[in-house]
Amino acid sequence: MLEVVYIVGAFGSPLLTPPTLAVAGFLIAVLMGLEYGVLWVLTGESLNRELILVISNIVYSIAWSITALPFTPIYYTLQPYFSQPLLIYLYLALFIGSILLGVIPAIMYIRKYLQFNKIQKEFKQLELDYKSINQEYSEINTRLNKAKEEINNVMDKINKAKELHETALRDPDLIVTALDKKPEIPEVIRPNVNYVVAGLGGTGTALLEALIDYLVSKNVIKEDGTNPFLFVAFDTNQASIARLRKKYEYTPVGKLLYTFNNFEALTTANIISHNPWLAGLNVDVIQGSGMKRAIGYASYNTVKEAMMEDILRRLSDLIAKTRTNRIFLIVFTALGGGTGSGSFIHFTKDFISRLGRITGDSEPYVRVSGM
């Protein structure tokens, strides 16, 4: 029969002896089992990182507790050494390890729970933002429909004026009035809205060119300087922009056309300076953005301030000629390219935000067409 050894535990406490710590270790294992059940109910998962730690702690706590639990073979082997401080503090460290392994999964779950609540709040905010944007879209759509009706009314008046003009050319006697009657002077139809038509990217500038050619073919663009148009062409393909500028250089369209020509600003160093998130990438855009939206946006972001100033200066001159500050913005682009698809949203937003400088409270009508 082994001699009874009276043990003084850690820090001189009889409660911090290896046998008492072993009993506490078994209690921790039981509590870990309860923690596993609670986490399983809360998460609906039978195995994840938190539960793996809980299971590991159960095995760990049982393993070291058995070595110091009374009435086990290994206990009688180690009993003579339980009075040694090194072994006593070793068991105390094992006990503390069980406590930490029990707390960590709970902290991990609480952290996940807090993150979930944060994401849920962000989702609700996004949902509110979506409803607000959808409402704004409906209002803009209503204004667009109203603008279409006004345009149709103007076109009807123009067609009637053309009919009168053609009638006068065929038979001038029909419009001769008696000398004692005051002749009726037809109302001069002036444009009540300025059209800013922007072509962004290769496809956008091609659509813009097609529209200009159509307007020219229908004799809509006059040489008297009262044209209510401002055409804007922005593309990172220098050759395409140069060709477009040369095509209309000595025509009435040339005075109405703004083409981006600040290609010297689109160097790799300058683009990365304005867009540091592109560091390490090849951003040579002189012949286009290579169908990469990020490159297209970065190119626009690099030159937008100077470009917007040029556009607004030309628009201010146009408003002075037409004597109306109403703006109808039309944007042509392609959703599958790089320059246009990467910049059309930001271009539209930047244009609208700066427009108030010259139009006051007048809000523009916006129409975006893409391919």
Find the length of the chain.
Answer: 371
* Residue 348 neighbours by CB distance under 10 Å: 18
**Tokens matching residue 77:** 């082997």
How much is the pLDDT for 371?
A: 57
Amino acid type, 350: D
What is the CA 55 to chain-centroid distance, rounded?
43
The angle, 0 to 180 degrees and rounded to 10, between the axes of the packed helices 49-66 and 18-43 is 160
Question: The pTM is what?
Answer: 0.47
**Which phi and psi angles does 133 have, rounded to 5°?**
-65, -40
How much is the pLDDT for 196?
A: 93
How much is the pLDDT for 332?
A: 92
What is the CA 103 to chain-centroid distance, rounded?
39
Over its length of 371 residues, how does the chain's per-residue pLDDT go in tens digits? 444 444 555 565 666 677 777 778 888 888 888 888 887 887 777 777 778 888 887 888 787 877 777 676 776 676 666 666 777 777 778 888 888 887 888 788 788 778 878 888 888 888 888 888 988 888 898 888 888 888 988 888 888 887 776 666 555 545 544 444 444 544 445 568 899 999 988 888 899 999 999 998 888 888 777 789 999 998 878 888 889 989 998 888 888 898 877 777 666 666 766 677 666 666 655 455 555 667 777 777 778 888 889 889 998 888 888 888 889 999 998 877 777 777 788 888 888 888 877 776 666 666 655 55
The angle, 0 to 180 degrees and rounded to 10, between the axes of the packed helices 201-217 and 238-247 is 10
How much is the pLDDT for 268?
A: 65
Reported CATH class of domain 190-370: alpha beta
Give domain limits for the chain: 10-125, 190-370
Terminal-residue alpha carbon distance, the chain? 94
How much is the pLDDT for 186?
A: 44
Sign of dihedral through CA atoms 219, 224, 226, 227? positive
**Which phi and psi angles does 311 have, rounded to 5°?**
-65, -45
Judge whether 299 and 339 are in contact, CB under 8 Å: yes
Judge whether 264 and 271 are in contact, CB under 8 Å: no
How much is the pLDDT for 286?
A: 45
